[in-house]
Each structure stands twice: as C-alpha cells, then as structure tokens.
Amino acid sequence: MEKVFSKTAGLTDIPFHYCPGCTHGIIHRLIGEVMEELDIIDKTIGVAPVGCAGFSLDFFSCDFVGAAHGRAQAVGTGIKRALPDRLVFTYQGDGDIAAIGTAHAIHVAARGEKITSIMVNNAVFGMTGGQMAPTTITGQVTTTSPYGRDDSLVGAPIDLPKTIASLSGAVYVAAVSVDSPKNIIQAKKALKRAFQVQQLGLGFAFVSILSSCPTNWGLSPVDSLKWLQENMLPIYEMGELKVPEEVKAL
C-alpha cells in the first residue's frame, strides 16, 4: 500500500506525554515539519524553560537546552551570539514568557536578537495546577481566581504580541491558534516565516499560539477547543502583526 503520511523527522520517536487533548502536541508537529521543510533540523537549537512547555526537550530531534523559568530567551540569546550560524528558538508557556520572563520578552525584542520565540498561550500556568497567568481572560475561573479574573484587582489580560510588535527590533510578529484545521495551517505558515526571518538574519521573530489545557480548564478535549474559540479568540488580536518585505517575497 502506498504510504501517504509519515511522522516528521523533526520529532523523535518518544511518545508525547501531554494530557489527552492538549494542543502542545499539535504545535510540536508543526515546528518539526517546518524544521524538516527548511532542512534545518541539524543546525537548530531549541531552548525550553520549565512548565509543560519544558517537556518539549524530549520530543524534537534538533539539539535542545533547558533553561530556568522565564529565562529561555536569555539562554537563547547567548547561544545565538556564540553560534550565529545556528537557528535558535525558544518554546515557552504564557506563564513563563508573560509573567516571570516579561523583562526578557521585552528586551530581547527591543534589542532585535536574531532568535525565534514561540509562546504557547493556554491562559493558565499549566504544569503547576492552573493558576491565573497574565494571559488569563477577564472573568476566567482558575485555581487562584476562584470567582473569576477581576481586572479591577489584577489588571486586564496582557496581549503580548501587540506589545512586542511595538518594538522596532521585532521584525516578525504573529498571533495564531491551533483550534481548527484552518487555523493550524495558518499557525504553520507563521512558524515557517518566523524561522525564515532568522535564516535571513533580519531580527527578532515572535509567534504567539492559542492552545488548550483541558486538564486545568476542567473540560473535555473537544469542549476545550470550543471554549478557546468562544472565549480566547474574540479577545486576542489574531493574524500577522508585522511581516518584513523580504519574507513576504519568499
């Protein structure tokens, strides 16, 4: 029988151990496929901090380095400056990059470090039990906001791509989602462009991806995607916020 689909060479053979329905796995596949299509698996170095996002260390077939919570972009910056011919990407949760790692997120973009950062936004701190994150949406019930996020106490959710896009060193910024086949195709395109920006040495590239956390949201995998569509998609601006001409032309 003709083989019509193979797992990408960008992923190892280790089975994912994310919770059932968690969309971290979809994002992994897209990154693996992009690395394979661009033929960069052997020259890519990923950096993962702690959190469920940190499990990614085992699953990609490129080199990978672990970092402390929030520090992946500092580590990635060091690697890229020491080894400028490598493709360097960070794979971070929203709690990681938009809370403890905020300073790095801003300054890496301001400096225009030639790395690619990926934020997996599931609106909570996933690994530690679903606490409120800066990206938790208004009114959302979490383990630390049992009555729903109250913006009058904690401020409104941070839409990180918009902030990053305002900094001149950030040359590619996209906000995508993996809740539907159409959006998954868009997400892959954004990830590809974010790596192409780095291949061309243009500056900092950032992709924010809306993702599900069925375990901490207390929903089934299918209801989680529905919840994301009904509650997250309307409040976060989606699409490519910044695209360099050189990449549009590819």
Binding residues for ligand TPP, per CB under 6 A? 50-53, 69, 93-96, 120, 122, 125-128, 133
Strand partners, 92: 119
CB closer to ligand TPP, 52 vs 115: 52
Q: Which of ligand SF4, ligand TPP, none does residue 95 bind (CB under 5 to 8 Å by kind)?
A: ligand TPP
> Which residues would be at the binding site for ligand SF4 (CB under 6 A)?
18-19, 22, 24, 52, 122, 126-127, 213-216
Q: Which of ligand SF4, ligand TPP, none does residue 94 bind (CB under 5 to 8 Å by kind)?
A: ligand TPP
**Least separation, in Å, of the C-beta of 135 and ligand TPP?**
8
Q: Is 68 helix (H, G, I), strand (E, B) or coil?
A: coil
**Least separation, in Å, of the C-beta of 55 and ligand SF4?**
7
CB 11 within 8 A of CB 61: yes
- What count of residues does the chain have? 250
Q: Is 49 helix (H, G, I), strand (E, B) or coil?
A: coil
CB closer to ligand TPP, 94 vs 159: 94
Q: What is the DSSP string of 216-246?
A: HHT--HHHHHHHIIIIITTTS--EEEE--HH
CB closer to ligand SF4, 96 vs 113: 96
65 — phi, psi (to 5°)?
Answer: -130, 140
Residue nearest to ligand TPP (CB): 93
**Least separation, in Å, of the C-beta of 128 and ligand SF4?**
9
CB 67 within 8 A of CB 43: no
Q: Which of ligand TPP, ligand SF4, none does residue 215 bind (CB under 5 to 8 Å by kind)?
A: ligand SF4
Q: Which of ligand SF4, ligand TPP, none does residue 96 bind (CB under 5 to 8 Å by kind)?
A: ligand TPP
Q: What is the DSSP string of 161-223?
A: HHHHHTSTTEEEEEEEE-SSHHHHHHHHHHHHHHHHHHHTT-SEEEEEEE---HHHHT--HHH
Q: Which of ligand TPP, ligand SF4, none does residue 50 bind (CB under 5 to 8 Å by kind)?
A: ligand TPP
Q: How far is CA 115 from CA 3, 101, 128, 203, 226, in A?
A: 36, 16, 28, 7, 33
CB closer to ligand SF4, 67 vs 213: 213
Q: Which of ligand TPP, ligand SF4, none does residue 47 bind (CB under 5 to 8 Å by kind)?
A: none
206 — phi, psi (to 5°)?
Answer: -135, 130
